[in-house]
C-alpha cells in the first residue's frame, strides 16, 4: 500500500472517530504435543489497519467503554436500541467472543441473554461442574465482534467488523485472558483472519497475538434440532478450554 492511499485510509477512519488502529498478527495453530507453528498466510488483500501493535498504555474496560460513547461510527447504530459492550469479570482468565447482539441483547444491553445465551451459560456452568471446577458465568468475560445489532441479525459487514473490531482488540488486550474461545465463523474470521468453516477449525488451538484461541460453534447453531453431533463436539471443545485455563 502506498503512502497516499494509507493517508486516505487513516483520514477516513479519523473522521469516523477511530483514532487508534492495530495490526493483526498471524494466526498460529498449535498441534497436539508440539510447538505452535504459523498457519499458511491468507491471500493478499487490502489492509487499512496496519499501524500499532499495542493498546494504549493504561487501557481499561472502563476507558474503552467511555471511548465508544454513543457510537455512530458505522451504519449499525441506525437500528440499534442499546450498545452491547460486554459483561463478566475484568480479571477473567477466559473470554468468549461471539458475532453480534440479537434482539434480546439489543433490548437489555447485555451479551448472550437470549436463548443462545442461556445455552452458553448452561454449557459453561454445566461443563465446569461436571469437570469439578467452581466456575460460573460471571467469572468469565463475554463480548461480541460488533457492539450493535445488525438488521435482521444479518452477518456483520467487513467495514463494520473493522471499525468495531478496534474496540474488541482493546477489550482483549486490557483483560489479557489465558485463553479465548471464539463462537462461530464470524468471530473466528475477526480474530484469526482465516477463511475455513467452523467445522474444520473447531477443536484446534490457534493464537491471537500470544493468547491461545479455541474455535467452536456458536450456541445459536447448536439450538437447531438437527445438530446433535455439533452439540457433543462443542461440549468437548469447551471441556478442553476449561481444563487448559483452570487446571
Check which CATH number belongs to the domain holding 232 and give it. 3.40.470.10
Enumerate residues 6+ apart whose C-beta is below 8 A from 23. Answer: 49, 50, 51, 52, 53
Res 194: pLDDT: 87
Other C-beta atoms closer than 10 Å to the C-beta of 35 total 7
Q: pLDDT value at position 191?
A: 96
The answer to whether position 216 is within a domain reads yes
What angle do helix axes 115-130 and 228-246 make, rounded to 10 degrees?
A: 60
Domains in the chain, number = 1
The 10s digit of each residue's pLDDT in 123-171 is 999 999 999 999 999 999 999 999 999 999 999 999 999 999 999 999 9
In a domain, 40, yes or no: no
What's residue 56's pLDDT?
75
Please give the backbone phi and psi of residue 215, each rounded to the nearest 5 degrees, phi first: -100, 135
Give pLDDT, residue 58: 86
What domain range is 107 assigned to? 3-34+45-246
On whether residue 84 sits in a domain, the answer given is yes
Provide the 3-class DSSP secondary structure of residue 194.
Answer: coil
144-175 exposure pattern, b = at least 16 Cβ within 10 A, e = fewer? bbbbbbbeeeeebeeebbbbbbbbbbbbbbbb
d(CA 132, CA 26): 35
SS3 143: strand
- Burial environment of residue 39 by CB neighbours within 10 A (0 to 12, 13 to 18, 19 or more): middle
The label of the residue with cell 477473567 reads 92
Residue 247 burial (CB < 10 Å; 0-12/13-18/19+)?
exposed
Intervals of the chain under pLDDT 50: 1-2, 22, 24-29, 31-53
Examine residue 95 and state whether it is found in any structural domain, yes or no: yes
| The pLDDT value given to residue 32 | 45
Q: Which residues pair with 206 in a beta bridge?
A: 213
Report yes or no on 170 lying in a domain: yes
**Residue 22 within any structural domain of the chain:** yes
DSSP 39: P
pLDDT for the residue numbered 195: 83
Structural domain contains residue 39:
no
Rounded Cα distance between 123 and 162, Å, is 29
Amino acid at each position: 500500500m502506498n503512502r497516499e492511499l494509507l493517508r486516505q485510509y487513516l483520514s477516513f477512519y479519523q473522521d469516523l472517530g477511530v483514532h487508534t488502529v492495530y495490526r493483526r498478527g498471524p494466526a498460529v495453530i498449535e498441534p497436539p504435543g508440539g510447538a505452535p507453528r504459523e498457519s499458511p498466510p491468507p491471500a493478499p488483500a487490502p489492509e487499512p489497519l496496519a499501524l500499532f501493535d499495542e493498546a494504549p498504555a493504561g487501557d481499561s474496560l472502563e476507558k474503552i467503554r467511555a471511548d465508544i460513547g454513543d457510537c455512530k461510527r458505522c451504519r449499525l447504530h441506525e437500528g440499534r436500541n442499546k450498545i452491547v459492550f460486554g459483561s463478566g469479570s475484568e480479571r477473567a482468565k477466559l473470554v468468549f467472543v461471539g458475532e453480534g447482539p440479537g434482539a434480546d441483547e439489543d433490548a437489555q444491553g447485555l451479551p448472550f441473554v437470549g436463548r443462545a445465551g442461556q445455552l452458553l451459560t448452561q454449557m459453561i456452568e454445566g461443563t465446569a461442574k461436571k469437570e469439578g471446577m467452581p466456575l460460573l458465568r460471571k467469572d468469565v468475560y463475554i463480548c461480541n465482534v460488533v457492539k450493535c445489532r445488525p438488521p435482521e441479525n444479518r452477518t456483520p459487514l467487513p467495514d463494520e467488523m473493522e471499525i468495531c473490531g478496534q474496540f474488541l482488540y482493546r477489550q482483549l488486550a486490557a483483560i489479557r485472558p489465558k485463553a479465548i474461545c471464539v463462537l462461530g465463523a464470524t468471530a473466528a474470521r475477526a480474530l484469526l483472519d482465516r477463511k475455513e468453516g467452523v467445522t474444520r477449525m473447531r477443536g484446534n488451538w490457534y493464537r491471537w497475538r500470544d493468547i491461545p484461541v479455541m474455535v467452536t460453534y456458536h450456541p445459536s447453531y447448536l439450538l437447531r434440532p438437527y445438530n446433535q453431533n455439533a452439540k457433543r463436539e462443542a461440549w468437548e471443545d469447551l471441556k478442553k478450554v476449561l481444563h487448559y485455563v483452570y487446571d
